[in-house]
Chains A and B, each alone.
Chain A
Amino acid sequence: MKKGYVIGEYIIVAFFFLMLTVGVISQFTETTSFEANKISSDVACKSAERLFRDVIDKSPVELTWKTDYNNFIAGTTSLTDLRKNWTHFGISTGNKYEVDYSALEFLIDNVSLINFTQFLNNGESFLITHEVIGVDVGSIYSKGLNLTTTSARAQIWMNATSGVASDNIIHNVLGIAVGSNYSGARFETELFFPNATIIGTRNISLDSGDLVTISNGTDGATLTVDFAIGGSEEDILYVAYTVNDTSVVGWDSTWTTGGTTFSDIDKIATKNNLIMFRNLKLKNISLNKEYSIYLGNNTLAKGSFGAEQRDGSDHLCEYNRMYKIIGGTRQSTQSIVNSVRIVNVTPTLVGELSVLIGS
């Protein structure tokens, strides 16, 4: 065989095997990387669910947990001693699918992320969040707050039932207010009133930059709100809605003091109560800062505890569930048309609780 022919053959074979080797290595690397990402995601998902079970599904170990935690902060209790009493750091009320708002609030406002991470002792970066997606309107009966004295805040509450729709129709009045002592924040949300019709509105200080859209559909009423804070001001909207617009003269008296038609009125009033929120947001976009939204007197509609997680990461996993959030009971004087009564108000919210973990 000619020498040139043999060399040519070697070159072709070497080139062929080089291509094969590169192809196999490339495919191997791609597959391994893909598998590694899946494993990371799987680990993150398991961790998210485990943390959710440990923190949100368990109730505090002891009644004095807040005191003990504060003692730990003050240095009178060591982490070792704290762990002797505490096997976990739970915020459940003890009932399934139910969170104690005061424990959730304490976790967000008082507990240090460093201490919490030390307590967990697993080195995971996490973010625990809650966002209210539904509320029992009767449980957020309150008075409007003065929102012009501080940075931006919003309040959604059940107002006194008067002056927005006909007094003879069994209805609720919801107040939505946003205020600040300086401009820049924007409040956006969509409220859905199932099976209901919006029968009246009244507003205070809304201007051309504040948008309100009402749609009464077959499934219920939708209210879209977009309020811009243009200085030291407070925008207020009152919305009256009902699930039955039949005229019932004196329903307020029967409902508050009793009577033969109490049951019929109570059924309508109760059906009025559960409403939903979508995309609840009060934010200053230029500062990239979100502000507090209160339901009723002082219950926060949104909150978070933990570290911000990277967006869009393959290693990110979120475990979220819809739970009932129960606040502390307080007494309030409720005004319904021409009647007044003392009621116990226990904030009862439907919230989306989530644990986000990036590995």
Chain B
Amino acid sequence: MIGKRGYMYFIEIIFAVMIVALLFSGMRPTSNSNLDNSIVLNNEYMAFDILRTLDEFDIINDYEPEDWGLIEDFVYGFTESSQEFDLDYCSPSNVCYPINNGALGAAGANNLENLKANFGKQDLASAQMVYHSSGGNWSSIRLYIWEKV
């Protein structure tokens, strides 16, 4: 027979479950984005270091026309076999173009938008370097690096 006693059991169980759920949910590990995203951080350093190195070795030359095929080949050489990359060029008027197979793509259709739309990658690292284009205006190259799945 279920009287007042059974009702109390039911209340006790509800409270016990609530306490346990509260304790367990309160003990979730913290999230430290610096550590959890250490691969992205390393790849960001790497992307910046690659662009800087290409500039230092005159693969990207101030005041000279860019050789996109050559730049892609050198980036390929510096990235590791576990990584993939894409490049964008942004003109002085801040219109960006994807660089693929040694040529500039359509204005505004940069690789970052493609990557976001197609992959939603969480481990995408990027760096940007500013230089003088052949016309003497400031331009920039963006390099995106991510780990192969």
Q: Which residues of A contact B (CB under 8 A)?
A: 16, 20, 23-24, 27-28, 31, 34-35, 38, 41-42, 45, 97, 133-134, 136, 192, 194-195, 219-220, 270-271, 273-276, 278, 320-324, 350
Contacts and interface: CB of A to CB of B under 8 A. Distances in A.
A38 B32 contact: yes
A31 B27 contact: yes
Contacts of A321: 45, 49
B20 interface: yes
A274 B32 contact: no
Contacts of A24: 20, 23-24
Size category of the B interface is 20 to 34
A278 B24 CA distance: 47
Interface stretch (B71-79, B106-114, B128-136): B71-79
Chain B contact residues: helix, strand, loop or mixed: helix
17 contacts: A20-B16, A23-B24, A24-B23, A27-B23, A42-B34, A45-B35, A133-B78, A134-B77, A219-B72, A219-B77, A220-B76, A275-B77, A278-B81, A322-B46, A322-B49, A322-B50, A323-B49
B65 interface: no
B75 to A, nearest CB: 9
A192 B50 CA distance: 15
Q: Which of A195, A273, A321 has the most CB of B within 10 A?
A: A195
B120 interface: no
Interface of B: 16, 19-20, 23-24, 27-30, 32, 34-35, 38, 42, 45-46, 49-50, 52-53, 56-59, 69-70, 72-74, 76-78, 80-81
Nearest to B58: A270
Contact of A42 (B35, B72, B74, B76): B35
A46 to B, nearest CB: 10
B41 to A, nearest CB: 9
Given A38-B35, A45-B35, A321-B45, A350 B53 contact: yes
B11 to A, nearest CB: 14
A274 B76 contact: no
A15 to B, nearest CB: 12
A97 B80 CA distance: 21
A78 to B, nearest CB: 39
Nearest to B30: A35
Nearest to A41: B35
Contacts of A322: 45-46, 49-50, 53, 78
Contacts of A38: 29-30, 32, 35
Contacts of A274: 57, 59, 74
A23 B20 contact: yes
A170 B57 CA distance: 19
B56 to A, nearest CB: 6
Given A23-B20, A38-B35, A322-B49, A220 B30 contact: no
A24 B19 CA distance: 10
Contact of B42 (A23, A97, A133, A320): A320
Given A28-B27, A42-B34, A136-B57, A195 B70 contact: yes
Contact of B32 (A42, A133, A278): A42
Contacts of A97: 49, 52
A195 B69 contact: yes
B77 A27 contact: no
Given A38-B35, A320-B42, A194 B29 contact: no
Contacts of A276: 77-78
A134 B73 CA distance: 14
Contacts of B50: 322
Contacts of B69: 195
Contacts of B27: 27-28, 31
A271 B70 contact: yes
A242 B42 CA distance: 33
